[in-house]
Chains A and B, each alone.
Chain A
């Protein structure tokens, strides 16, 4: 089948898509955006998290056909041109990135939290990131990065 959708603001068409193909596979293998990662393929790790019409989803659990006519935003689409989003900057500054494989999914999830909740509490941060696994960092600096980005955003909004 053919799937038409928008990815990071650009219209995309994928041809010869099998019914069973996941959105993640189409993004990584057909659209050429391997930023979203495949670490479990069954909704357990959050590495593949992308926005689908503004809601974070596990792209490995979304059939490609479900994206027909909809808007997808991936880690590659968080930056504003060359300018990284504050959550991306905070991850580097806080040392929240080690191997970086969990990072894209965490960034999308954290980005969504900060957009929705202006000054998230610690329990809110933990809850939002509950579905994202990281084997390297021990999470400490990831939480710090989300706190920092949220504080900066609140500051800028004042």
Chain B
């Protein structure tokens, strides 16, 4: 079956039969269980850990704490320097661990561990005028915090507004779990991670071991959305330490509640947008000023303003990022870090500008199409935003959009909104090995990760296509750091990076077979794409899309329903239509959650996230998702990479919240500038 065809997910049968093994589900003899003890203060020092009562429980094997835990070789990253110092940087930080014969015993004993603290008082609340705001040296991944070019000119129309987004937690369905097994001085970690090879390198450095002595296995991962990226989370480090200490395999499963403090989340933001334009909607100058938080444990500067650097034409543009360093858990990647919150602000402001100019929001965006990337000056490898907008408008029935606050149907105010989407399309160096197996079939190996994306399936299709054989004759091995190096699943770069290496290895093998005169078992070809990637031509590479939403706002309850959503994407060549659709739709639904239901609430008094479970943190449920559709342009981009794909894991969430917010404005006539837009915030503004 050729590339692009809707092949069934290759591991789908294992997953529906309950046979797929996630980390921590491997059977190993002599396994015991570890449970983390977490700090009950947000800032201070551990004075003492009294484990007497815990140790007395039959079945408890050991208790680890600062002072007696095995030492780490690298303690430069405080978040990962687990049990290496008495300092407490956030509530929920790991301050001790209990290892016991069963999980129940470990949990019981965990509650008996007495930790005393010297409490220093905490600062956990991000405010737009926080006195500690500073300019980070760089923003993620490696960009300047501030940019500015062009002279500001007096504008005929201007918009100057601030949007606010709360913290969000990734909440993949699989909580992070690790099974750590030492054999002599070799460590094997079965770990929920988005990148086995990168995780191995990070763990090896922390433990002061050569990378060859560490192996990370992650055959199946129950979602990640950034929370299982690298650097690792502290739970992986703790599992390795516990197993080292007790000399037995140790399982450590993070609970849902613990995920709210130790496995990352998206920073809250305040984003001020200033746009000056002519009456006909052409942007003269645009500014995007971002305020975010970071933890004292580790700096993470989310790149929310980068979208304003490349999205629209303007004579002058300025972006800034300022952070407050707080006594909070470490924030990190969550699906489309930067682009997702940034486009919420930019695309909401564009809607406000359209209204101020009296121009249709679709048309406004078309008028501000840049010819080249305004940031780098490079040509776009391809940029088909206008087509996405036009096609979406036609399919969605955009021309029937009412004037704001004018369409009422029974108890509902009805409105439509649009937003553009973009996400970078990069690739990282990778290696792959393709080989003829003994039975004449083909095996392709690479330390790629399938966290639910469908990577295993797409790579199988890429390999079969390159080898010119049916997919049934190809087996792709991934999810193991012992395989040829592959970068982690992140930044929507997975398939482009791994697929490129798989393509080259399979092309090479095919040539080898032709030269040899047959598919002789043992013939193989190794590929490494680092040279090719280094020599790529200078293009601005991004995916684009347009999101449309219709909302109905109940005038009595303030409840907002989204009967229709449509995403139109130009995201390069799509490798598997069925799996791609589900990625786009899944992203859009996470965007719906961001717009209407999700919010992590900081408890000022105790200093941690209060609503730390799925009963209180509301990820969308099936009743929230009504008519949803995702379509895409046939868009192979030869300048992106030889496969022409651009990555689809993240663009689906970008712009979705803005489209819904803009639709709520269209329905109600009122502008809500803080997410989530929930009934209590809506009700005061209803007729």
Is B614 within 8 A of A98, CB to CB? no
- Over the window 438-452 of chain B, the binary record of Cβ atoms lying under 8 Å from chain A Cβ atoms (1 yes, 0 no) is 000000000000011
Q: Cβ of B6: which chain A residues have Cβ within 8 Å of it?
A: 95
Interface segment out of the listed B277-285, B404-412, B581-589: B581-589
* Interface: B105 (CB within 8 A): yes
Provide the bound-state CA to CA distance between A8 and B453, in Å: 31
Known: A40-B256, A92-B9, A138-B589. A98 touches B582 (CB 8 A): yes
Point out the residues of chain A lying under 8 angstroms from B324, CB to CB.
Answer: none
Closest 9 CB pairs of A and B: A35-B18, A99-B452, A101-B222, A100-B15, A138-B589, A75-B18, A98-B452, A92-B12, A138-B585
Identify 26 residue pairs between A and B in the complex whose beta-carbon atoms are under 8 Å apart, listed by A's number: A21-B104, A29-B103, A33-B18, A34-B21, A34-B22, A35-B19, A37-B222, A39-B222, A42-B615, A84-B16, A95-B6, A95-B578, A97-B12, A99-B172, A100-B20, A101-B172, A103-B15, A126-B622, A133-B614, A136-B452, A137-B582, A138-B582, A138-B587, A139-B625, A140-B625, A142-B622
A98: contacting residue among B20, B454, B621, CB under 8 A: B454
Report how far A129 CA is from B621 CA in the complex, Å.
9
- Residues of B near A137 (CB, < 8 A) are 582, 585-586
Q: Which of A14-66 contact B (CB under 8 A)?
A: 18, 20-21, 25, 28-29, 32-42, 44-45, 47
Q: Which of B255, B620, B622 meets A130, CB within 8 Å? A: B622
Besides the known contacts A37-B173, A99-B172, A136-B452, 13 further A-B residue pairs in the complex with CB atoms under 8 A apart: A18-B102, A37-B174, A39-B173, A40-B613, A41-B255, A41-B256, A76-B19, A92-B9, A97-B15, A98-B582, A99-B173, A100-B12, A141-B582
Total CB contacts across the A-B interface at under 8 A: 173
* Smallest CB gap from A22: residue in B: B104
- What residues of chain B lie closer than 8 Å to A133, measured between beta carbons? 173, 614, 619, 621
- Is the Cβ of B582 less than 8 Å from the Cβ of A130? no
The answer to whether B451 and A20 touch across the interface, beta carbons within 8 angstroms, is no
Q: How far is the CA of A40 from the CA of B255 in the complex (A)?
A: 7
Indicate if the CB atoms of B18 and A25 lie closer than 8 Å: no
A134 to chain B, nearest CB (A): 7
Using a CB–CB cutoff of 8 Å, the interface residues on chain A facing chain B are 18, 20-21, 25, 28-29, 32-42, 44-45, 47, 74-76, 78-79, 84, 88-89, 91-93, 95, 97-104, 107, 126, 129-130, 132-143
Residue pair B222, A100 in contact (C-beta under 8 Å): yes
Residue from the set A74, A84, A126, A139 with the largest chain B CB neighbour count within 10 Å: A139
A132 to B104, CA, bound (A): 26
Give a binary string over B620-635; 1 marks a CB under 8 Å from any A CB, 0 the rest: 1111010010000000
Query: A140 vs B589: C-alpha distance in the bound complex, in angstroms?
Result: 10
Q: Which of B41-70 contact A (CB under 8 A)?
A: none
Tell me if B13 and A95 are in contact (CB < 8 A).
no
| A contact residues around B19 at 8 Å (CB) | 35, 76
The answer to whether B222 touches A143, judged by C-beta atoms less than 8 angstroms apart, is no
One of B16, B27, B225 near A97 (C-beta < 8 A): B16
Q: List residues of chain A with CB within 8 A of the CB of B171.
A: 135
Q: Which residues of A contact B12 (CB under 8 A)?
A: 91-92, 97, 100
Task: Please give the distance in Å from A100's CB to the nearest CB on chain B.
Answer: 3
Interface flag for B8 (CB, 8 Å): yes
Residue B25 interfacial (CB < 8 Å): yes
Contact call A88/B16, Cβ cutoff below 8 A = yes
Q: Please, how many angstroms separate the alpha-carbon atoms of A72 and B8 in the complex?
A: 30
B361 within 8 A of A: no
CB pair B590–A135 under 8 Å, yes or no, is: yes
Q: Mark B21-35, 1 if CB is under 8 A from A, else 0.
A: 110010100000000
The answer to whether B613 and A44 have CB atoms under 8 Å apart is yes
